[in-house]
């Protein structure tokens, strides 16, 4: 079993860390002793999550950041590294949920889902190579593992994240940095996409629910548990991998 303070002394950055999966991951790292920095666009939820992290007795940092803007990403990473004293783990979690095959869908998906991963990783790398057991965790989606008529731009962007994860792993291995990816299935949390669609488009929600063999959608905490594993010493020989965490959703017809 992992120590309850396994990440004591380590510094973790979670992009898009104020709500949902990002929030759950930030809390999981803080619970295990990590100093944590989070960024997001919404100041109120950002501060409330930072305060929640601080209750675990760890150093915290939060900064408003539009992850579609390169300069803001660079400023966040630099400020987080200065506040926490370095970087050991970077989690690239943000998504614009660009959705369908539209100009806006493609622009949003490429700017946030893909370019934010590239930019944050590039900004963090000089700190990571000096860190303790450094690693990057990219959050993709099972939408990136198969074609989609409903979320074409989002799925293609998430496929790019999966491909780039392997490229990063190969590029950074000689510098001692591991890079892995998590591809969540449909995850439900308060205020999230699936909580909203449960009300707005119940037929779609029920169709997704029916496709999952275990009969429920996943939780943000279940993604967080995989993230802490991938950043831990137990995964020290794991790099360049994408792990689907979907309750068997892709096994359905």
Active-site position among 18, 37, 121, 140: 140
Give catalytic status of residue 109 as yes or no: no
Give catalytic status of residue 205 as yes or no: no
Give catalytic status of residue 37 as yes or no: no
Q: How far apart are CA 14 and CA 224, in angstroms?
A: 11
Active-site position among 37, 109, 121, 141: 141
Q: Which residues of 91-120 are buried (b: 16+ CB within 10 A; e: fewer)?
A: bbbbbbbbbebeeebbebbbbbbbbbbbbb
- CB atoms closer than 10 angstroms to residue 178: 24
Angle between helices 202-210 and 193-200 (to 10 degrees): 120
Q: How far apart are CA 95 and CA 187, in angstroms?
A: 14
- CB atoms closer than 10 angstroms to residue 1: 4
Give catalytic status of residue 232 as yes or no: no
Tell how far CA 235 is from the center of its chain. Answer: 17
Q: How far apart are CA 66 and CA 104, in angstroms?
A: 16
Active-site position among 18, 158, 164, 205: 158
Active-site position among 37, 135, 154, 172: 154
List, by residue number, the catalytic residues. Answer: 140-141, 154, 158
């Amino acid at each position: 079993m992992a120590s309850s303070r396994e990440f004591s002394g380590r510094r973790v950055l979670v992009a898009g860390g104020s709500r949902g999966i990002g929030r759950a991951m930030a809390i999981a790292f803080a619970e295990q002793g990590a100093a944590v920095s989070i960024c997001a666009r919404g100041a109120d939820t950002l501060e409330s999550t930072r305060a929640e992290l601080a209750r675990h007795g760890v150093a915290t940092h939060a900064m408003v950041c539009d992850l579609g803007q390169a300069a803001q990403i660079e400023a966040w990473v630099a400020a987080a590294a200065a506040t926490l004293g370095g970087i050991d783990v970077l989690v690239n979690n943000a998504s614009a949920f660009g959705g369908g095959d539209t100009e806006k869908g493609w622009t949003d998906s490429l700017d946030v889902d893909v370019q934010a991963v590239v930019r944050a990783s590039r900004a963090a790398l000089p700190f990571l190579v000096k860190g303790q057991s450094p690693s990057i965790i990219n959050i993709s989606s099972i939408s990136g593992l198969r074609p989609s008529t409903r979320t074409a731009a989002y799925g293609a962007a998430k496929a790019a994240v999966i491909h780039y994860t392997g490229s990063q792993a190969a590029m950074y291995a000689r510098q001692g940095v591991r890079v892995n990816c998590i591809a969540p299935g449909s995850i439900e949390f308060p205020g999230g996409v699936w909580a909203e669609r449960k009300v707005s488009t119940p037929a779609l929600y029920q169709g997704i629910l029916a496709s999952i063999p275990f009969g429920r959608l996943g939780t943000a905490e279940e993604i967080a548990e995989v993230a802490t594993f991938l950043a831990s010493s137990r995964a020290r020989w794991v790099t360049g991998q994408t792990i689907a965490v979907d309750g068997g959703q892709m096994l359905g017809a």
